[in-house]
Amino acid sequence: MKANQMNEIFDQCIADYHKEDHVDTSENNPFAEGSFENLLYHKNWIDTVQWHLEDIIRDPNIDAEHALVIKRRIDTSNQDRTDLVEKIDDWYLNNFGEGEVKENARVNTESPAWAIDRLSILALKIYHMRVEAERTDVHAELQHKNQFKLNVLLTQRKDLSLAIDQLIEDLENGNRIMKVYRQMKMYNDPDLNPVLYAKKNDA
């Protein structure tokens, strides 16, 4: 799948979310269960909900108890996001991990899925910066700044999309080595977070 097709899925997901524009809206993934498209849509849905949770928690007047609830949701979302990225990498690993690799093949700085993660976040930045650039209730200077930022984000997405396509092509041709390093998240692991395992030992 080309990066432009991924962008289309991300844009569709973001548009679907904003029909209700609420963090408790149920995901209605239109793609077949187990498909790569389904994974991408679900990944972006997690990112989109978390984007808005991050907005909510930055309200200076937020109730402390409510802020803690939102913070816990963000923590869970971050873990879900990491799990989804690793599932996407598993898909690429199954396709390219056992392929023939050329002797001079290079290792990439990040796996395909983590590059796609950046693409998903970029889709959100573009959507929301476009909203700001199209506002009519702000002065012209701010509109100009927002449009400039939007143009930069669009250029960034074009470049990142090309880089992802080139990475996938290199993996297909054996010019890059498909390697996956799991994130080894420690803060949610009761055996690795000192605060959590200390409480477990005290129980």
Give residue-wise pLDDT tens across range 129-182. Answer: 999 999 889 998 999 999 999 999 999 999 999 999 999 999 888 888 877 776
Q: How far apart are CA 48 and CA 36, in angstroms?
A: 18
Q: What percent of the chain has pLDDT over 90?
A: 70
CB-based contacts of 67, cutoff 8 Å, min separation 6? 57
Domain ranges of the chain: 3-193
- Within the chain, which residues score under 70 in pLDDT? 97-99, 182-193, 195-197, 199-203
Residue 10: count other Cβ atoms within 10 Å of its Cβ: 27
pTM over 0.85: yes
Q: How far apart are CA 169 and CA 79, in angstroms?
A: 29
